[in-house]
Every structure is written in structure tokens, then in C-alpha cells.
């Protein structure tokens, strides 16, 4: 009996492996040729391994109560690979589950089912032109954005990383920059091949030619010299936060728009994708992607406010240390931040609570906030203490947030976990803006305390990518919602 069970278990695993391995080339082909990104219940399968695909399918049982087999999602993917499709994000997990266990049960014709689900992208010509992207600054966020852009290279790719701009470097600078892109102590090795072209002062990565430009001021760069035009310049330096400073980028030949990866000052629109990205207008030339913490908390706050009503609240962020702090005690203009980051918890301030109102004005004046910097290199935690307009309970709040993370317009921003064992390092590489730790939720009458994990580097970079896409006026629908 035990031997038979073990044999059946092995046979089942082998079947899953074989289906996952058959999926890999189709997933790559769909993205490279059609800019169609495949996922399973929000878990992107782009550049995934066979094991990643199997694990993504296993998560379906946590959400639906029954398993989704790879042999059930395989026909969906196989059919998609034969279709003429416009750029989209297509969740084969949700489509397969619906076809086998939902609305598609009575419909035996898979192609007809898919044609109905994919209306708007099926048999549609893709007339969207690609857009040049320049990264001004190549620190933590700059290099992660480079990874995201390069890993999505293909003949139908719409966002093309053409150059990075850094301050004048010494001998060996180019090799150092390439090495930092190739290896990362937190996020691991780059998924691909990187070589240095010293003669042309460039980095070649996964078939992309990326010009490295040295400049001390945005206005002195002529991008057209390198064949770059109408570019979106992503400022990762944080040196300029207002319209006048960021406007220097627009004086450079070949630059058309600027996106700041930090909170903008004055009348600059601070965009949290999923919340107020609809405010991006065609004639907007200077934008901000707000901060990592603002991106982490605003989607959840918006969802809760619309469902339960938020009267007031306090946001406490337990935030990993950043380059702004010192390795050992040294002078810093800000209070306490001069003390050693790897050795101390540092109480400091955050503007994230007030910044929420820039993206979601309904909460203006209702939130306070503070921050504690802690000795970890990445992944932070936001604690929301909220007073709601009506009484509720833990089950209702968690169920609402779980459904929001799976079946709403905020599914790319909010993720959800029911694990009782999850810790910060488990969240490295999370693509969502934040992850609701449902086991830590506390509800007492109308008072709610929520714990939101967020990869303050990678999760934020994914949000920035979504804003870049909207600034480029690229339409990429999510199917199904």
C-alpha cells in the first residue's frame, strides 16, 4: 500500500513537471511576440521556472478551496499561443478555474469561451508605438527598474531602456556599474547575460544595448546623439523634487517627460498606481511615483474607506534602513539618522501618512504617521491603526481584503497571505505594493489594526513601472479582473 501510494505521488509530480515544462516556451513566446504577460491568480509566470509554475498553481487551492491542475490550465495557454492578441495581462489560472468550475462549465467550446473573455484584445491590431526610457541615476531603484525593463525585452516590447545617466566616473566605473546590475546582495543575481562595451561606453544585457552617459546636470545631456528621442526620463536621484528642478530634464534634447521616484513637491502629481493613475493626462510632462510607503498603504486605505469608511487613523512604518543613513555614527542633518543603521532601531518621521491625501484626497487630515528604521536591508512593515465609521469583525475585514487582492482593480497593488509563519525575508521580490498579513489583523468594534508587508525596493519598482507605462500611454488590460 505504501509503495503504491509513493508511486502515485511520484507519477502525479512528474505529470505536473511535464506540463510546467511545456508551458515555459509558450509563456516566453506570448510575451516576446505579443507583449502578453501570463499569470496564475496574480502570480506572474514571466521568466518563471517550472517549479514556480507548479507553486503558483498550488496557491489556487488556498483561495478557492479546491486545486487547479496544470492539465486544466494547459489548454488555456495552448489556445492563447495560437491567437492573434494585443498586449495584455492574462490570468490563465482564473480563466481555467472559471471554465472548469464556474461560468464556463456549461460551455464545452474553449475557443468560444476565450473569445468572449478576451474581447478587446483578440483579433485586435496593436498600433501602440514603443517608447524610449532613460534612467537618470543608478542606485537601488534605478538598478531594479533596469532589471524589470531588460527582463522584458522582445521584438514587441513597448518600453525600451536606451540609456542610464550617472555622474562622471573614474576609471573602471563602467565595469562597476555593470557588476552592480549583475549581482545584488538582496535580490540575487540578474536573470540573464550582461557584458560591457568599453569602446562605446555601454552595457549589453539580454540583447539590449544600453548607453551609459556621464553628466553632472540633466540639462547638459543630448539624448538625440545616441538615437534616443521622445524619451521618458526616470529620475532616481531624488536631488530635484520640485517642478523647477525636475524641469531641467526637459531642457535635454530628446527628453519628453520626467518621472520622479520619490515624493514630488508643490503642484506635481503624486501617482499611486491603482488609486489615482487615472489623473495622468497626455500633456503631463513632470510626474512623481510618490514613496514606497505611500504606495504600500494608499491602495489598502482606499479599499477600506470605500467599503467601511475611515474616520481617523495612525500609520506606523517599521522600515528597513536606506542609503540615507550611516553605517556607523556620523553627522546627519536629520535627528537620530546619524546613528549607525545596522546597530540601531531609529525613531524618525515619515511624510507618507500626509502624502496619502495627494493620491486619495478623501483621507486628507484624517491620518497621522511616524517611522522606525530597523537593521534590515529590505522589506518593511506598515501598521495601520484605523477608526472605522461602523463596527465590523476580523473575518469580514480579512475576507474583503482577500477578495480585493484577487478580483478587483487593485489586484496588482494588494496581495494577501494567511500564513502564520511568514517573516520579512519571505517577501523579498514581492511585486505587489503591499501584502496583507491576515493572521495579524485585529478588530475591536470599529477599531482595526492591519499589518502590511512591502518590499520597499522591488514592490515599489513594480509600481513605478506601471506609472511609466501609463505615461507612455500604453494600454495593457488585465483579463479577467
Residue 287 — φ and ψ, nearest 5°?
-135, 165
Our answer to whether residue 462 is catalytic in this structure is no
DSSP letter at 129? P
Helix (H) or strand (E) holding 173: helix 173-182
Is 440 inside any structural domain? yes
Same domain, 352 and 379: yes
Give me the number of domains the chain comprises.
Answer: 3
Asked whether the predicted pLDDT for residue 256 surpasses 90, the reply is yes
Residue 97 host element (H or E): helix 92-101
Backbone angles phi, psi at 266, to 5 degrees: 70, -135
Q: Flag whether 311 is in a domain.
A: yes
Rounded to 5°, angle at Cα 322 from 433 and 337: 125
Model pTM?
0.95
Name the band, by pLDDT with cuts 50, 70 and 90, for residue 107: confident
Q: How far apart are CA 278 and CA 254, in angstroms?
A: 26
- Tell whether 113 and 162 lie within a shared domain: no
Domain that holds residue 228: 131-261
Q: Are residues 82 and 157 in the same domain?
A: no
Q: Which of 145 and 120 is assigned the larger pLDDT?
A: 145
Where does 250-366 show beta strands of DSSP type E?
Answer: 255-260, 269-270, 286-288, 310-320, 346-348
Model pLDDT for residues 275-294, shown as the tens digit of each residue: 999 999 999 999 999 999 99
Same domain, 364 and 229: no
Q: How confident is the model at residue 105 (pLDDT cuts 50, 70, 90)?
A: confident
The reply to whether 273 falls in a domain is: no
CATH number for the domain spanning 299: value is: 3.30.360.10
Whether 44 maps to a domain, the answer reads yes
The pLDDT value recorded for residue 156 is: 74
Same structural domain, 341 and 231: no
Q: Please, which pLDDT band fits residue 1 given cuts at 50, 70 and 90?
A: low
* Whether residue 413 sits in one domain with residue 305: yes
The pLDDT tens digits for 5-47 are 788 788 889 999 999 999 999 999 999 888 999 999 999 999 9
pLDDT band for position 318 (50/70/90)? very high
Query: Could you tell me if 253 and 136 lie in one domain?
Result: yes
Average of per-residue pLDDT values in the chain = 94
Are residues 293 and 319 in contact, defined by beta-carbon separation less than 8 angstroms?
yes
- Do 107 and 136 have their domain in common? no
- Ranking 150-154, 353-357, 440-444 by mean pLDDT, the lowest is 150-154
Examine residue 471 and state whether it is found in any structural domain, yes or no. no
End-of-domain residue from the set 67, 95, 118: 118
Q: What is the CATH number of the domain that holds 145?
A: 3.40.50.720
Residues 137, 192, single domain; the answer is yes
CB-facing half-sphere around the CA of 185: CA atoms within 13 A = 4
Indicate which residue of 88, 148, 233, 292 is catalytic: 292
* 303 and 423 fall within a common domain: yes
Q: What is the mean pLDDT of residues 165-181?
A: 90
| Structural domain contains residue 384 | yes
Kindly state whether residue 277 falls inside one of the protein's structural domains.
no
**Same structural domain for residues 18 and 137?**
no
> Does 280 fall in a domain?
no
Contacts of 31 (CB under 8 A, 6+ apart): 37, 38, 46, 152, 154
Residue 399 and residue 350 share a domain? yes
Q: Calculate Rg over the CA atoms of the chain.
A: 23
Q: Tell me: the pLDDT tens digits for 363-412?
A: 999 999 999 999 999 999 999 999 999 999 999 999 999 999 999 999 99
Residue 306: other Cβ atoms inside 10 A? 12
Amino acid at each position: 500500500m505504501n509503495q503504491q501510494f509513493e508511486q502515485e505521488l511520484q507519477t502525479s509530480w512528474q505529470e505536473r513537471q511535464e506540463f510546467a515544462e511545456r508551458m515555459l516556451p509558450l509563456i516566453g513566446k506570448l510575451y516576446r511576440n505579443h507583449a502578453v504577460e501570463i499569470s496564475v491568480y496574480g502570480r506572474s509566470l514571466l521568466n518563471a521556472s517550472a517549479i514556480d509554475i507548479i507553486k503558483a498553481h498550488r496557491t489556487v487551492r488556498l483561495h478557492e478551496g479546491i486545486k487547479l491542475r496544470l492539465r486544466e490550465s494547459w489548454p488555456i495557454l495552448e489556445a492563447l499561443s495560437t491567437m492573434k492578441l494585443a498586449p495584455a495581462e492574462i490570468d490563465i489560472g482564473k480563466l481555467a478555474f472559471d471554465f472548469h468550475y464556474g461560468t464556463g462549465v456549461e460551455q464545452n467550446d474553449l475557443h468560444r469561451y476565450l473569445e468572449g473573455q478576451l474581447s478587446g484584445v483578440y483579433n485586435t491590431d496593436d498600433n501602440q508605438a514603443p517608447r524610449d526610457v532613460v534612467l537618470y541615476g543608478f542606485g537601488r531603484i534605478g538598478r531594479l527598474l533596469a532589471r524589470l525593463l531588460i527582463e522584458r525585452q522582445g521584438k514587441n516590447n513597448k518600453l525600451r531602456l536606451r540609456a542610464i545617466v550617472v555622474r562622471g566616473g573614474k576609471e573602471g566605473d563602467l565595469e562597476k556599474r555593470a557588476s552592480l546590475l549583475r549581482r545584488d546582495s538582496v535580490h540575487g543575481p540578474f536573470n540573464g547575460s550582461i557584458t560591457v562595451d568599453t569602446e562605446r561606453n555601454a552595457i549589453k544585457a539580454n540583447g539590449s544595448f544600453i548607453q551609459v552617459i556621464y553628466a553632472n546636470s540633466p540639462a547638459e545631456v543630448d539624448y538625440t546623439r545616441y538615437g534616443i528621442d521622445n524619451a521618458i526620463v526616470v529620475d532616481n536621484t531624488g536631488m530635484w523634487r520640485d517642478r523647477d528642478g525636475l524641469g531641467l530634464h526637459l531642457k535635454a534634447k530628446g527628453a519628453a517627460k520626467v518621472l520622479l521616484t520619490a515624493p514630488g513637491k508643490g503642484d506635481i502629481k503624486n501617482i499611486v498606481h491603482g488609486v489615482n493613475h487615472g489623473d495622468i493626462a497626455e500633456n503631463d510632462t513632470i510626474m512623481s511615483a510618490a514613496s514606497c510607503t505611500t504606495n504600500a498603504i494608499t491602495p489598502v486605505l482606499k479599499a477600506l474607506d470605500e467599503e467601511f469608511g475611515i474616520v481617523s487613523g495612525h500609520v506606523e512604518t517599521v522600515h528597513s534602513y536606506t542609503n540615507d543613513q550611516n553605517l556607523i555614527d556620523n553627522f546627519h542633518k536629520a535627528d537620530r539618522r546619524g546613528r549607525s543603521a545596522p546597530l540601531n532601531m531609529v525613531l524618525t518621521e515619515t511624510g507618507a501618512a500626509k502624502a496619502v491625501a495627494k493620491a486619495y484626497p478623501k483621507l486628507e487630515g484624517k491620518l497621522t504617521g511616524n517611522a522606525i528604521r530597523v537593521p534590515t536591508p529590505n522589506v518593511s512593515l506598515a501598521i495601520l491603526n484605523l477608526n472605522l465609521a461602523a463596527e465590523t469583525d476580523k473575518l469580514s475585514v480579512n475576507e474583503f481584503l482577500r477578495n480585493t487582492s484577487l478580483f478587483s482593480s487593485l489586484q496588482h497593488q494588494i496581495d494577501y497571505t494567511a500564513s502564520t509563519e511568514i517573516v520579512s525575508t519571505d517577501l523579498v521580490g514581492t511585486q505587489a505594493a503591499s501584502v496583507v498579513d491576515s493572521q495579524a489583523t485585529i478588530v475591536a468594534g470599529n477599531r482595526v489594526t492591519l499589518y502590511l508587508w512591502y518590499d520597499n525596493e522591488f514592490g515599489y519598482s513594480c509600481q513605478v513601472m506601471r506609472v511609466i507605462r501609463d505615461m507612455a500611454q500604453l494600454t495593457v488590460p488585465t483579463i479577467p479582473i
